[in-house]
Amino acid sequence: MPGMDLLAKQVIFAEGCRGHLTKGLFETFDLREGKDPQTYAIGIKELWDIDPAKSKPGTVWHSVGWPLSTDTYGGSFLYHLNGNQVAVGYVVGLDYSNPHLSPFEEFQRFKTHPKVRDVFEGGRRVSYGARALNEGGFQSVPKLTFPGGCLVGCTAGFLNVPKIKGTHTSMKSGMLAADAVFEIVTADEAQNAVEPVSYAEKLEQSWLWKELYKVRNIRPSFNKGMWAGMAYSALDTYILRGNAPWTFKHHADHTNLKPADKAPKIDYPKPDNVVSFDRNSSVYLSGTNHEENQPVHLRLKDATVPIAHNLALYDAPEQRYCPAGVYEIVRDENGDNPALQINAQNCVHCKTCDIKDPSQNIQWVTPEGGGGPNYPNM
Ligand SMILES: Cc1cc2nc3c(=O)[nH]c(=O)nc-3n(C[C@H](O)[C@H](O)[C@H](O)COP(=O)(O)OP(=O)(O)OC[C@H]3O[C@@H](n4cnc5c(N)ncnc54)[C@H](O)[C@@H]3O)c2cc1C
Ligand code: SF4
């Protein structure tokens, strides 16, 4: 089914983190000029039905570090919900440098920690999903308006990174954008205005802008490792209160990988199928479906790059950073002639490949036919 033509006077783009059409707008209207690169993390999440005797609705756990090494940004969240359910997830900063790292396996390993394992033993995993989230914050927010539209929510990058919360900022930006667009579409035609510039002004005067400004240095302070980041974050939050006279810079995530032979291999434990699982059974729980005979939504700019560059230099990191097992290196019966196989029907639309591919050769485009994961309770 072909996509639809948008003929509206104004279009508000709300595609979520790493929007595909938004990427095109960045280029067409130069919206990122003078801004820091956007940086990202991948968040992998599961929903569990747990033993009612272990349920403590309202209990929230957050952790940093283990099982990640201290030079990689990441941590977990675990929320006890009503109805004997627990939402658990793990976030890994996509600026990690070791190409052998697998965010999926880090998450599975996290659940084997004795304290965490106990929550899930005797329970049943009911849902699985993964999604990229923005980590650039204030200094990575692009120019927000252009002739005929504007950007809201996570496609613009309004996530409060230390809190991993972006629902409230998405709603606020949507409300302010609606006000600005209403002014334009109801204005006297003689004014001939096409760019809802007042949206950016309204935003800069709102609590959203102040909130993002105050936490702008927390995430980049972890570029020097977990302990330095924790120490700086305490200083910034409790003493400086977000008012430091400096703003740390960001770098693009895809530039950070070390060559595979310069990074330690990671030996992940096999899934125990009690609290830890493999990718295939996980994707099954995401309800992912793509209609047959649709144009492929994972595109390579250059089909030679995966083997000649990614496999040769980085041991094909797409095999590990994709949480859905979409990318596989297959070989002939002699173990020769490697080729990249793309199992696009498994894609859970997390956008990590579009972000982390070291040569930016993979392009995630919005699939036709409305396919993708089905997350009713996530
Ligand atoms: C693991 C994880 C945990 C999180 N936990 C929290 C939390 O506890 N609290 C909190 O406040 N926030 C949390 N967040 C962040 C929160 O999910 C986002 O900030 C919020 O969903 C952003 O809202 P949005 O409307 O901008 O984008 P989204 O919620 O991503 O919605 C975008 C929608 O647009 C659709 N879409 C995208 N492109 C197109 C297109 N071209 N055409 C048509 N449709 C399109 C997508 O399918 C999607 O349905 C979490 C994020 C992650 C990844
Ligand atoms: S193919 Fe890309 S977008 Fe799809 S699940 Fe894998 S990493 Fe995520």
* Nearest CA owner, ligand 1 atom 44: 15
Q: Are strands 327-330 and 339-342 parallel, antiparallel or unpaired?
A: antiparallel
d(CA 353, CA 130): 12
Q: Which atom of ligand 1 is nearest to the CA of 45?
A: 1
How far, in Å, is the centroid of ligand 1 from the Cα of 114? Answer: 31
* Nearest CA owner, ligand 2 atom 2: 353
pLDDT value of residue 2: 65
- Which tens digit of pLDDT belongs to each residue from 336-345? 999 999 999 9
d(CA 154, CA 169): 8
- Which tens digit of pLDDT belongs to each residue from 288-320? 988 878 888 999 999 999 999 999 999 999 999
- Which tens digit of pLDDT belongs to each residue from 211-244? 999 999 999 999 999 999 999 999 999 999 999 9
Q: Which atom of ligand 1 is nearest to the CA of 14?
A: 26
**311 within ligand 2 shell (Cβ under 6 A):** no
Q: Which atom of ligand 2 is nearest to the CA of 344?
A: 1
The pLDDT-based confidence of 376 (bands split at 50, 70, 90) is confident
**25 within ligand 1 shell (Cβ under 6 A):** no
Nearest ligand by distance to the CA of 164: 1
pLDDT value of residue 290: 87
Q: By mean pLDDT, which of 156-160, 171-175, 185-189 is the weakest? A: 185-189
Distant-in-sequence contacts of 259-268, Cβ < 8 A, 24+ apart: 259/99, 259/313, 259/314, 260/99, 260/100, 260/313, 260/314, 260/315, 263/97, 263/98, 263/99, 263/100, 264/98, 264/100, 265/100, 266/98, 266/100, 266/101, 266/102, 266/105, 268/102, 268/105, 268/108, 268/109
Q: Could you tell me the domains of the chain?
A: 11-30+137-249 (3.50.50.60)
Give the rounded percent of residues in the chain with a pLDDT score beyond 90.
Answer: 88
Closest CA to 316 of 259, 273, 267: 259
* Nearest CA owner, ligand 1 atom 51: 133
d(CA 260, CA 246): 35
d(CA 99, CA 94): 11
Q: What is the DSSP string of 60-100?
A: EEEEESTTS-TTS-EEEEEEEETTTEEEEEEEEETT---TT
The mean pLDDT value for 110-128 works out to 97
The pLDDT-based confidence of 360 (bands split at 50, 70, 90) is very high
Q: Are strands 40-49 and 60-64 parallel, antiparallel or unpaired?
A: unpaired
Which residues, in sequence order, are bridge partners of residue 40?
A: 134
Query: Candidates 11, 12, 13, 15: which one to mutate for ligand 1, based on the most atoms within 8 Å of Cβ?
Result: 15
Closest CA to 164 of 132, 126, 129, 116: 132
How far, in Å, is the centroid of ligand 1 from the Cα of 85? Answer: 21
Question: What sign results for the dihedral spanned by CA atoms 135, 138, 139, 142?
Answer: positive
How far, in Å, is the centroid of ligand 1 from the Cα of 166? Answer: 8
* Nearest CA owner, ligand 1 atom 15: 166
pLDDT value of residue 198: 96
* Nearest CA owner, ligand 2 atom 7: 322
Q: Which atom of ligand 2 is nearest to the CA of 321?
A: 7
Residues 334 and 280: beta-carbon distance below 8 Å = no
Helix orientation angle between 207-214 and 167-185, rounded to the nearest 10 degrees: 140
pLDDT value of residue 339: 97
Which amino acid would we find at residue 170?
A: S
Nearest ligand by distance to the CA of 367: 1
